[in-house]
A and B are shown apart, each in its own frame.
Chain A
Amino acid sequence: MNVHLYLWLIPLLPFAGFLLNGILGSRLPKWLVSAIALLAPAGAFGVVLFSLDRAYNVVFATQKGHPVPANNFPIVEHLASWIQVGTLHIDFTFVLDQLSLVMLLVITGVGFLIHIYSVGYMAHEEGYARYFAYLNLFLFFMTVLVLAGNALLMFVGWEGVGLASYLLIGFYFKKDSAANAGKKAFIVNRIGDFGFLIGIFLLIANFGTLTFSEIASKLNANPAWTGGVLTTIALCLLLGATGKSAQLPLYIWLPDAMEGPTPVSALIHAATMVTAGVYMIARTHVLFDHAPFALGVVAIIGAATALFAATIALVQNDIKRVLAYSTISQLGYMFLGCGVAAYSAAIFHLVTHAFFKALLFLAAGSVIHAIGGEQDMRKMGGLRKHLPVTFWTMTAAVFTIAGFPPLAAFFSKDAILYEAFLHGNLGIAIWFVGLVTALLTSFYMFRLWYMTFMGESRSPETHPHESPWSMLGPLVILALLSIGGGWVGIERFAAFLSPVTGPRTAESTIPNLELLLSLAAVAVALIGWYIADLFYRQKPAQPAELAEALPTGYNTLVHKYYVDEIYGATVVKPLLAFSKYVLGWGVDVVLLGGLAWLLGGIAMFSGALLQRWQSGNLRSYAAWLAAGAAALLLFVLVPWNSVWPASMDFIWKVARH
């Protein structure tokens, strides 16, 4: 075996797990299903760690001025040719560079933890093997997406994770709401995928290649080439990213996706899949750098989504919905970071977010598991006594996302806000929106914390029990990562990523600016905490009074700005009517049905005529036979060529006389 070709193991292991559990799972004992399901991501994680070692050696050697080791980095593995049309070559090529390495560490590492957690969480569920088969399938497609060396292979992974997401959202497919949520996610993602596909076609038309490195080198060789078609391509790709990463205007599927099992929400709809859009923008960032307008749109969409989703999260009562809107909001931060060309900061936040948001979801799952499937926070309360481990890990996550130092999100969020601040006038506006969002984030997370764990239980008849260690173990590990994940620091992280995402551009002329901005961020986090403390500990009646004082604002938020209703009235209903009346009745019944009826009618009419020949009378058949033979003889024997013109001649002459 060629020792240099091993990247294919990373997607292959989960795929093997998917095949084994998908085909044989229902007949295997449970412990074997769990073992197969756990080995797949564990093996993939091992391969990634092996690559990390290689990457570290190269980076270390480069920094110290040592000769670079022979097995170079990034690793490019050409597995097979795929499409060859004219000069267009599209291959199955996996590329492992710093960016995909970071992504893979998160995907397989957090993925492995969530697999362990799932063993405990799903232990009593029906369809245990099916669940793990889907989960492994997701890891397969996600690793393909991240490793892909060209846009089309990335699109394969992109569609595949969409499929896995659909299957897992609709895991409890006997529930109507779950099946509908799966469909909604898939259809809304279709809209984004449409943009991605158009972007791919435009890339082929304008670059003649889909390989990321070739596109980047063509753009780098031609720095004057900006705007125009590049803006169009970037906006098309952005549409794809907004679909997958749940940004305005296509975010509506993510809150409904919470119908899936909670570990799925943690893995797919918080930590990994929804960050694919951010990854895609970072991967094609050279293109976005050459399209400043599109980059501005990215920033504005990110900032708007961050604020918009955070305001909705303020009033949600379903614990998973709060986290869903929080995820949308945090993804908005990452888009905002990409939009101000702070790609390494955005990826940094992606990593820390994967830690703390997976932790939040898993801890929420532990809470839901403990009190028998209840998700309404109004019926929780006082759980810190019953669920100590869950409480302390959740506390770590809440303080992290609120942005307190020295926890992970403090570093990543500040890196984004700092670079936004240095990005001109638009940047300062975006920084301000980000700061307000940080305030709201702190408030709704502490609101969740107080409503769930503090005070007295509002459902005294329940007897909560702490989850098994298969669930608590991943919580503890993720809590440690959420606390310490940011200590690597943005400078070192950005330096590691710089071969892919370029160096950090932000240079401050104001002394101590970074410190001042950090102080502002911590201040708003404290204010958010204080308001939450006021509302949900000191004066529990306050929120209801406020809701009554501002009924319009409160109802708008509770109904999520009526976006689902607006989309329903402006998009879904017209489409349904169009399908029913124009396509269903007009095209199907009238046009196609009429055509079928016409063809059938012709056949029946001619059949009715011809069936008279089949009289069943042998002698009439014989007579027709003889007549036919006579006609044939006549045709063969009479010299028509000479008879015909001669007779015509004769008639002509008679006519002239």
Chain B
Amino acid sequence: MNFSQGVPISWYLLLSATLFSLGVLGFLIKRNLITVFMSIELMLNAVNLSFVTFAHQWHAVKGQIFVFFVMMVAAAEAAVGLAIIIAVFRARATLAVDRIDLMKL
């Protein structure tokens, strides 16, 4: 079965947009730092999906290369981000973003 003809491209894009919006929503409203962090990952992967989709549509390999870059950045970000989260938890014994507000004036 031909993948490209079976499912129209707009569906992929709709899925990507939905995932991205869910990520934004989670980023904005969740209180737990780990959930916020996962929302960011969700947004990144939603963007990856549209990259792959367009790369397939236009038969251009650039989009796929970009996906690798994004994944690499995401991996690095995960390492640093999780380390920060652990450090914050050790220091404050909480991961509620509302209460991590020492930097305000």
Chain B CB within 8 A of A124 CB:
no
The number of residues on chain B lying at the interface, defined by a beta carbon within 8 Å of a beta carbon of chain A, is 14
A626 to chain B: which residues have CB within 8 Å?
24, 27-28
> Once the chains bind, are A611 and B27 in contact (CB under 8 Å)?
no
A623 to chain B: which residues have CB within 8 Å?
28
A221 to chain B: which residues have CB within 8 Å?
none
Q: Which of B5-13, B68-76, B96-104 makes up part of the contact surface?
A: B96-104
Chain B CB within 8 A of A1 CB:
no
Chain A CB within 8 A of B42 CB:
no
Interface residues of A in 616-652 (CB under 8 A from B): 616-619, 622-623, 626
Q: In whole angstroms, what is the CA distance A113 to B102 when docked?
A: 78
Most buried by B among A611, A615, A619: A619
Given A623-B28, A626-B24, A626-B28, is A617 in contact with B101 using a C-beta cutoff of 8 Å? yes
A87 to chain B: which residues have CB within 8 Å?
none
> Once the chains bind, are B98 and A617 in contact (CB under 8 Å)?
yes
Q: Which chain A residue lies CB-closest to B33?
A: A618
Contact with A along B82-105 (1 / 0, CB 8 A): 000000000000000110111111
A622 to chain B: which residues have CB within 8 Å?
27-28, 36
Chain B CB within 8 A of A63 CB:
no
Q: In whole angstroms, what is the CA distance A616 to B97 when docked?
A: 9
Chain B CB within 8 A of A614 CB:
yes
B101 to chain A: which residues have CB within 8 Å?
615-618
> Once the chains bind, are B105 and A619 in contact (CB under 8 Å)?
no
Q: In whole angstroms, what is the CA distance A623 to B97 when docked?
A: 13
Contact with A along B21-57 (1 / 0, CB 8 A): 0001001110100001000000000000000000000
B31 to chain A: which residues have CB within 8 Å?
619
> Once the chains bind, are B28 and A618 in contact (CB under 8 Å)?
no
B24 to chain A: which residues have CB within 8 Å?
626
Among B27, B36, B103, point to the contact of A616 (Cβ < 8 A): B103
A71 CB → nearest B CB, Å = 81
B17 CB → nearest A CB, Å = 13
Q: In whole angstroms, what is the CA distance A623 to B101 when docked?
A: 16
Q: Which chain B residue lies CB-closest to A616?
A: B104
B105 to chain A: which residues have CB within 8 Å?
611, 614, 616
A633 CB → nearest B CB, Å = 12
Q: In whole angstroms, what is the CA distance A615 to B24 when docked?
A: 20
Q: Which chain B residue lies CB-closest to A623?
A: B28
> Once the chains bind, are B27 and A615 in contact (CB under 8 Å)?
no
Q: Which chain B residue lies CB-closest to A611?
A: B105
Contact with B along A543-585 (1 / 0, CB 8 A): 0000000000000000000000000000000000000000000
> Once the chains bind, are B104 and A618 in contact (CB under 8 Å)?
no
Q: Which chain A residue lies CB-closest to B100?
A: A618
Q: In whole angstroms, what is the CA distance A628 to B103 when docked?
A: 22
A619 to chain B: which residues have CB within 8 Å?
28-29, 31, 97-98
Q: Which chain A residue lies CB-closest to B104?
A: A616
Q: In whole angstroms, what is the CA distance A622 to B43 when docked?
A: 14
Q: Which chain A residue lies CB-closest to B40?
A: A622
Q: In whole angstroms, what is the CA distance A622 to B105 when docked?
A: 18
> Once the chains bind, are A614 and B28 in contact (CB under 8 Å)?
no
Contact with B along A161-199 (1 / 0, CB 8 A): 000000000000000000000000000000000000000
Q: Which chain B residue lies CB-closest to A618?
A: B97
B98 to chain A: which residues have CB within 8 Å?
617-619
Q: In whole angstroms, what is the CA distance A611 to B104 when docked?
A: 9
A611 to chain B: which residues have CB within 8 Å?
105
A552 CB → nearest B CB, Å = 77
Q: In whole angstroms, what is the CA distance A626 to B21 when docked?
A: 11
Q: In whole angstroms, what is the CA distance A501 to B82 when docked?
A: 93
Q: Which chain A residue lies CB-closest to B97?
A: A618
Most buried by B among A611, A618, A619, A626: A618
A245 CB → nearest B CB, Å = 67
A615 to chain B: which residues have CB within 8 Å?
101, 104
B97 to chain A: which residues have CB within 8 Å?
617-619
Given A623-B28, A626-B24, A626-B28, is A618 in contact with B36 using a C-beta cutoff of 8 Å? yes
Q: In whole angstroms, what is the CA distance A626 to B25 when docked?
A: 10
Q: In whole angstroms, what is the CA distance A626 to B104 when docked?
A: 20
> Once the chains bind, are A614 and B104 in contact (CB under 8 Å)?
yes
> Once the chains bind, are B28 and A617 in contact (CB under 8 Å)?
no
B29 to chain A: which residues have CB within 8 Å?
619
Q: In whole angstroms, what is the CA distance A626 to B100 when docked?
A: 20
B68 CB → nearest A CB, Å = 24
A635 CB → nearest B CB, Å = 19
Interface residues of A in 591-616 (CB under 8 A from B): 611, 614-616
B38 CB → nearest A CB, Å = 14
Interface residues of A (CB under 8 A from B): 611, 614-619, 622-623, 626
Closest 7 CB pairs of A and B: A616-B104, A616-B101, A618-B97, A611-B105, A616-B103, A622-B28, A615-B104
Query: Can you show 11 pairs from A to B with CB atoms below 8 A apart?
Result: A611-B105, A616-B100, A616-B101, A616-B105, A617-B97, A617-B104, A618-B36, A618-B98, A619-B31, A626-B24, A626-B28
Task: Beyond the given A615-B101, A617-B97, A622-B27, please list 4 additional residue pairs across the A-B interface where CB-CB is below 8 A.
Answer: A616-B100, A616-B101, A616-B104, A626-B28
